[in-house]
Structure formats: C-alpha cells, structure tokens
Amino acid sequence: MKILITGFEPMYRYWNVNPSWEAVSRLPDEIGGAEIIKLRLPIVFSKATELLERHIAELRPDAVVSVGQSGAANCIQIERIGVNINDCHGVPDNDEDAPQDRIIREDGDAAYFCTLPTRKMIETLRAHGIPADLSEHAGCHLCNHATYTAAYLRAKKYPHMRTGFIHVPFLRSQCLSAGNKRYTMELDVTVRALELALETLASEL
C-alpha cells in the first residue's frame, strides 16, 4: 500500500519557505501500514504537471494527497473539488507564467470530486484538538492545478487511486516577514495533522 504525498516549493517572489513541503518532508516513511512517498512540486504549472504524472505512472500509488499553503486558511482545510481552470489572478508562478481562464485538460470534466475520506479526516483532526474544516475547492492556482491533475488521471487511467488536497495555514515566520496578520499554525501541529489525515486514509485503502 503506497500513498504519494506532495508539497510545494516556496513562492520565491514572496517567501523563502512553504509550510506544505516543510510539513510533508517531516512525515514518517510509514503511516498506518502504508508506505509514504514524498514529492516536492515546483510552483510552475507545466513542470508540476510533468512531475506529478511521471511519479504516478512509475509508482502506481493507492492514493495521492497534495498539500499546499493558504493565506486565507484559519485551520486545516480539506478540499472537496478540483476545477478545470487555471487562473492566477495576477499572481504568476515561479516561471512568470500567469494563466487566465486557461483550461487544464481539454478532454477533462469541468470538475472532479476528491475521493479522500474528507469528513472522517476532519473528525479525526478535531478529536485530537486540531482545527479542521471542509473547503469547497482549492482556488485556481497551483493548488487547484495539482488537485485537478491527480483527479483527472484517476478518472482517465487509474480508477483504483484515491486523490485529494489539503490546505495548511501559514507559518508564523511568513507573516512576520511579510508584515501582515494572518492565522498561523505551528509546524509540528501541521505535521501531526497530516499524519492523522494519512492514518485515516490508510485505514480505508
């Protein structure tokens, strides 16, 4: 049983750290009997697609869980849907690509539901004192791009594979360096939240 979990590199224009990868990289290599395989994705639309596709094809994981940061998150947010659109709203990726109203897959559905046990994950996190909630979809930037890409591959090639996305809040250092006030979560809490979420997922694979 294999779970591929991804985090993102920093968005270098703004930060030198990304809590998604910081947390993913600290996860153990085995959770709930599942092998945990970690992958760092670039914040570049084309490169992220190629890397994710290649690793899924090579590994044939039982599940793919992508993780990303959200400045709007006031808790761990587990996403429900990936939508077939890339739109940066003026915030380009790390290669200065700034798509607007760009379809991700011409032969893909308008949206795909994530297939993680979202509500069970939320219940588990809350039972351990970690704030968590359901989010309707992962925006239209790289986070949604990863969500939709994995779900598309599940629909087209790997029907056994479960896919989904988790948004995590900023680290305190990001807010201090940016001089803004946002909800933050300590890194060890974020790591624990991901562990619990993957443990819940593993129990259903």
- Model confidence over 8-30: pLDDT tens digits? 999 877 778 899 999 999 999 99
Sequence ranges of the domains in the chain? 2-202
The span from the CA of 61 to the CA of 170, in Å, is 28
CATH number of 2-202: 3.40.630.20
Active site residues: 79, 143, 167
Q: How many CA atoms lie within 13 A of 108 on its CB side?
A: 23
Query: pTM for this structure?
Result: 0.93
Inter-CA distances, 36 with 11, 56, 165, Å: 25, 13, 16
Q: Render pLDDT for 100-158 as a digit per residue (tens, 0 to 9).
A: 999 999 999 999 999 999 999 999 999 999 999 999 877 888 999 999 999 999 999 99
pLDDT at 40 over 90: yes
Q: How many residues are recorded in the chain?
A: 205
**Per-residue pLDDT at 180:** 61
- Tell me how far apart the alpha carbons of residues 156 and 180 are, in angstroms, rounded to a whole number: 42
Read off the DSSP letter of residue 203.
Answer: T
Spatial CB neighbours of 99, under 8 Å, sequence gap ≥ 6: 45, 86, 87, 88
Q: Which residue has the higher pLDDT, 89 or 3?
A: 3
What was the pLDDT predicted at 136? Answer: 85
Query: What pLDDT, in 10s, does the model give residues 149-193?
Result: 999 999 999 999 999 999 999 887 766 655 566 688 999 999 999
The average confidence (pLDDT) of the chain is 92
pLDDT at 85: 94
